[in-house]
Amino acid sequence: MKSTLLSLSRSIKTTITLCLIVWAGPLASAEAPANKYQKTVESDIKRFSQFFYNKFSHVKPADFKDGIYAIDAAAREQWIEIEDFPPYELSIDDGKELFEAPFANGKSYADCFANGGVGIRQNYPHFDSKLNEVITLELAINRCRTNNGEKPLKYKKGPLADISAYMASTSRGEVFDVKVPNEAAYAAYMDGKKFFYSKRGQLNLACVDCHVGITGQKLRADIPGPGLGQVTGFPVYRAKWEEIGTLHRRYAGCNKNVRAKPFKAQSEVYRNLEYFQTLMSQGLAVNGPSSRK
C-alpha cells in the first residue's frame, strides 16, 4: 500500500515536472513563435527590415531607431548636439508630475498599468483580445482617466503628450515587443498594413512611396526617413511645432502633405497603422521622447 502510494506520488511529481517543463518552454524561449499569425507577421518583419539593411548597408541595424538621423549623416551630427540639451526635458518633468498626481478619487495612473506604468512603453500598442481593438499608450492613458471619473485629455499635444513622454523615458533602451495574439489582431495588423501601402490624396502617394520607395532621396527640402524605426522615438519635440507632439499628430501631418484628409488622432485607422508600424520596428529600442526638425 505504502509503496503504491509512493509510486503514485512519484508519478504525480513526474507529471507536474513534465507539465512545468512543457509550460515553461514557450515562456523561457524568446523566439518561440506564438501562433501562425505571429509567424506570418514575423516573416513580414524580416522582409521589411532586410530591405532597409540592404539599402543602407552602412547603418547599424540597431540605429534605425533614430529615424531620419540614422541615414542622414549631416543632420545626425546636429541632432546629436541638440540631444545633449534635449528640448523635451521639460515635457518629461511635467509628464512625471502629472503622472504622479492622484485623481479626485485618490487613484492614479500607476493603478491602471502593469508595473505601475514604469518601463512598459515597449509593450504598446497591444491588441486587447477582450475589447477586440488596438490599445495605444495614449488611448490607455485617457481610458485610465475616464475609468476614474476624469475628463479625457487632447490627443495630439499638451499634458497627454507630456505623460506619454515621461512613460517612454522610463522605457528607454527596452526593445519593442508587440504581439499578434489571434486572428482579430492579425486583421488589425492587415488593416494598418493596407493603409501604409494605399495611395491617397491629390498627390496620390502612399506612405510606402516615400518611406520605402524614395527614402534617403531629397524631396523638395526634405528627405523621407526609413519606414523602419519610424515610431520608436515618439512622442517627439519638433522644432517646427516648438513643442512636443504625439505620433498621431505626425500621421495627420503626413496625410495633409499629400493633400489627403487626415483621420482623427486615436481613430481606429491610425491605431491600426501604429500597430503595423510598431510591429515593423519590432526589436528596435524605445528611444522616445526625441527631437526632430
Closest CA to 72 of 214, 223, 211, 221: 223
Query: What is the CA angle 204-251-95, rounded to 5?
Result: 175
The CB-of-272 to ligand HEC minimum distance in angstroms stands at 11
Rounded to an integer, what distance in angstroms lies between the CA atom of residue 2 and that of residue 14? 18
Q: Which is nearer to ligand HEC, 99 or 276 (CB)?
A: 276
Residue 158 to residues 94, 95, 108, 206, 233: CA-CA distances in angstroms?
Answer: 10, 10, 19, 29, 17
The CB-of-24 to ligand HEC minimum distance in angstroms stands at 38
Q: Which is nearer to ligand HEC, 135 or 254 (CB)?
A: 254
Closest CA to 132 of 178, 185, 180, 181: 185
Q: Which is nearer to ligand HEC, 149 or 213 (CB)?
A: 213
- Which residues contribute to the site for ligand HEC (CB under 6 A)? 67-68, 205, 207, 209-211, 219, 222, 224-225, 230, 233, 236, 250-251, 254-255, 257-258, 273, 292
The CB-of-93 to ligand HEC minimum distance in angstroms stands at 22
Omega before residue 125 within 30° of 0, cis: yes
Q: Which is nearer to ligand HEC, 99 or 196 (CB)?
A: 196
The CB-of-217 to ligand HEC minimum distance in angstroms stands at 10
Q: Which is nearer to ligand HEC, 2 or 58 (CB)?
A: 58
Closest CA to 279 of 246, 224, 213, 230: 230
The CB-of-18 to ligand HEC minimum distance in angstroms stands at 47
